[in-house]
Homo-oligomer: A and B are copies of this chain.
Amino acid sequence: MVYNFNGGPSILPKEVFEEASRAILDFNGTGLSILEIGHRTALFQEVVDELRVTARELMGLDAEHEVLFLHGGASTQFFQVPMNLLNQDATAAYLDGGEWGRKAIKEAKLFGTVEVVASSKDKNYTYIPKGYTIPPAAAYFHYTTNNTIEGTQMHAIPETSVPLVADMSSDILSHVMDFNRFALIYAGAQKNIGAAGVNLVVVRKDILGKVQRPLPTMMDYRQHIEAGSLLNTPPVFAFYVCMLTLRWLKQQGGVSAIEKINDRKAALLYQTLDSLPMFRPTVAKEDRSKMNVVFVMDDPELEKSFLATCKEHGMVGIKGHRSVGGFRISLYNALPLESVEVLTELMNDFAHTKA
């Protein structure tokens, strides 16, 4: 048995793997592989339609918001967002809450002025900055909802009249929220949406078409909207895996149902960590992420030994990011509660043996 706690690419539902594996040999009884079907066929259009409709439904989007699926990962959106939304003489407000936000800031500076409203870099991004002011004239306010590497999460949407732009790569569709409050949302698929190589982008149409710079066709959200995400040959298989994953999520009861399970997984793991002094969560309690649980062990020998024990028990993807060290346990939608139960039992056993 393997327990996959990878930070991304990460575990997807077993049913998705099984269906995708079959479709590589024979897609929907056509005798053709999903890898060799034309992207302009009625067959594939059905996949795209179900993908779009299911995404809209799971997020409860209104008519002002469009859903796109685009090549690349969130790193592409780091520059595509300001390219589409930020004039050279305008200012965008950014929150510096982690490694990914920092990278987004770097790219935005190529397109206009960036005002960093707050940063938690002083404490290695172990908390979410609070009490900042968003300049009301900003073109938009950008933040990362969940910091995959550092294990922090924003638990509320900021109150502001400035258009909200969020990188939701690592917690989208994991809990109920009002997605319609955002002007633009983007998320690399490889956590809660599907396989790597595609981005989900949600955009409120009225914020587009306001920049003066000419946009390359492939970078222009409006062109992708018009073409229904089929402006060029899409990553066909990645689309298909996303469609299967969102279909699965809908079958589970949607976002509110998965949120209940996600809450139980996170609660169990944090309670276990808090009860065992050997393990030390690194993040401010109120900002703890329910998707990525980060902790260290102060004794390097014990840390090595616990890592080895986990490996023996089939656990993978538990090492912390090199910038943080220690451990990172990712609890994305597809991770069963049982995996957390097995891990926490192991923690308890380990702590009592070594105490």
| Chain A interface residues toward B at CB < 8 A | 1-2, 4, 6-12, 17-18, 20-22, 24-25, 30-33, 35-39, 71-76, 78-79, 83, 103, 106-107, 110, 188, 190, 195-198, 214, 216-219, 231-238, 241, 314, 316-317
Contact A35 B7 (CB under 8 A): no
Q: Would A2 and B21 be within 8 Å (CB), given that A71-B71, A72-B71, A317-B38 are in contact?
A: no
Q: Would A235 and B196 be within 8 Å (CB), given that A37-B9, A73-B71 are in contact?
A: yes
Q: Which 9 A-B pairs have the closest CB atoms?
A: A197-B235, A79-B216, A75-B232, A21-B24, A2-B31, A71-B72, A197-B197, A196-B236, A17-B33
Q: Would A196 and B79 be within 8 Å (CB), given that A35-B20, A36-B12 are in contact?
A: no
Interface of A is mostly: loop
Q: Would A12 and B38 be within 8 Å (CB), given that A22-B21, A110-B216, A197-B236 are in contact?
A: no
Contact A10 B36 (CB under 8 A): yes
Q: In the complex, which residues of chain B have a beta carbon less than 8 angstroms from the beta carbon of A218?
A: 72, 75-76, 78-79
Question: Which residue of B has the minimal Cβ distance to A108?
Answer: B216
The complex places the Cα of A21 from the Cα of B33 at a distance, in Å, of 10
Contact B217 A107 (CB under 8 A): yes
| Distance in Å: Cβ of A29 to nearest Cβ of chain B | 11
Contact B233 A188 (CB under 8 A): yes
| Distance in Å: Cβ of A78 to nearest Cβ of chain B | 7
The complex places the Cα of A198 from the Cα of B73 at a distance, in Å, of 12
- Copies assembled: 2
Contact B197 A234 (CB under 8 A): yes
Contact B238 A237 (CB under 8 A): yes
Contact A12 B33 (CB under 8 A): yes
Chain B CB within 10 A, most for which of A195, A218, A233: A233
| Distance in Å: Cβ of A311 to nearest Cβ of chain B | 13
Can you list 11 A-B pairs, Cβ within 8 angstroms, ordered by A? Answer: A4-B36, A17-B24, A71-B76, A75-B233, A76-B218, A106-B217, A110-B214, A188-B233, A195-B235, A197-B238, A198-B235
Residue from B18, B198, B232, B316 in contact with A32 in the complex, judged by beta carbons closer than 8 Å: B316
| Distance in Å: Cβ of A278 to nearest Cβ of chain B | 26
Residue from B106, B197, B317 in contact with A237 in the complex, judged by beta carbons closer than 8 Å: B197
Q: A2-B32, A73-B233, A196-B234 are in contact. List 16 more A-B contacts (CB 8 A).
A: A2-B31, A6-B36, A9-B35, A9-B38, A11-B36, A17-B25, A21-B21, A32-B316, A35-B196, A72-B72, A75-B218, A75-B231, A76-B218, A79-B216, A79-B219, A237-B241
